Amino acid sequence: MDEFLKDHQEAPKRDFAANLYRQLNEAEGRAPSPNRLRKWTLGATIAGVAAVGLFVASPSVRAVGQQFLDLFRVGRITAVSVDQKRVEERVRQLKNANLDLKQLVADKVETIHKAGPPQSAGSATEAGKIAGIAVLSPQWLPEGMKTAGFRVNDRDAVRMTADVALVNNLLDFLELPDARLPESVNGQTFTFDMPSKVVTSFSRGNETLSLTQAKSPEITLPTGIALDQFGYTFLRIAGKDIAEARSLAGSTDWRSTFVIPVPSQAADFRNVIVRGKEALFISGKQATRFRSPKGEVTEMPPMNSLFWIEDGKVFALNGPVSEADLLQIANSLQ
């Protein structure tokens, strides 16, 4: 993949690029413009990666049978190692393309509920009332650390319509024809509903710790959709070779698992136990730097994160504190 991205920093093959660009513009009745061809093609590649990622994101644990749809909720969190350099290269391509992804996929995404601005709350109880959940608070914090505030992020829900021809053209451009999506998915709708979440912040000097909690996201898919191919496509885009992607895709229960991509150069991860539940611990490898208003720079320990699901709610702890402290905070929640 690295070699492919480097070799294709210039315009791709003319016939492919022209066909792809024409497809992107047919809906708007625009004719291809040669001087914009490369920008659109590179941007479309990144859009395709994002679109496939959305198709795969968070298929979940419990299926609720409906006449035409399946409703899933996230039940387990795991991680997959990805190559940070490959991700950064795609980000550079996007920046160089000066492309607005929202405009590119605007006709494929319908807003069901637009998130409003974050709201501040004076207590866990008040934040819980706004978000519609019972908010847990730690009964233990590291010495010197205090509660700094509560913020509620509003619900965000969208419905996406699959454009398989576009995604598969983009996969061909990435030289990933084996990762193509089935034609049967074309035109099908996928709904992603991210409930309101409460973020409690804690501080100690320049250190900041956050606790996020929310109801499990819900994903509605057309009934009978096989998710293994979506998982395989996601893993191939993330940089896995064919054999590894095939093995991981086949051994992952995509209907119960939320998969977090973790840059291998920046962090390690492993499973731990929190409150009797399987949890994911991600340990940062790089120290973080804080610049004070006076311009003074302070180096802090790497950021560590802890994720788990409990009673239909997703929890995340994140901050420059040790694994032992994160576990003790999590286990003290009431």
pLDDT for residue 241: 86
pLDDT for residue 199: 95
Quote the CA–CA distance of 25 and 37 in Å, as a whole number. 11
Which phi and psi angles does 164 have, rounded to 5°? -65, -40
pLDDT for residue 96: 64
Q: Give SS3 for 289.
A: strand
Q: Give SS3 for 110.
A: strand
Greatest Cα pair distance in the chain: 64
pLDDT for residue 328: 98
Q: Which residue has tokens 């109880």?
A: 125
Q: On the CB side of 56, how many CA atoms lie within 13 Å of its CA? A: 27
pLDDT for residue 84: 75
pLDDT for residue 12: 39
Quote the CA–CA distance of 98 and 139 in Å, as a whole number. 48
Our CA dihedral for 85, 89, 95, 97, rounded to 10 degrees, sits at: -170
CB-count burial class (<10 Å; 0-12, 13-18, 19+) for 98: exposed
pLDDT for residue 265: 78
Question: pLDDT tens digit string along 45-60?
Answer: 333 334 344 333 333 2
Residue spans of the chain under pLDDT 50: 1-71, 99
Quote the CA–CA distance of 197 and 214 in Å, as a whole number. 4
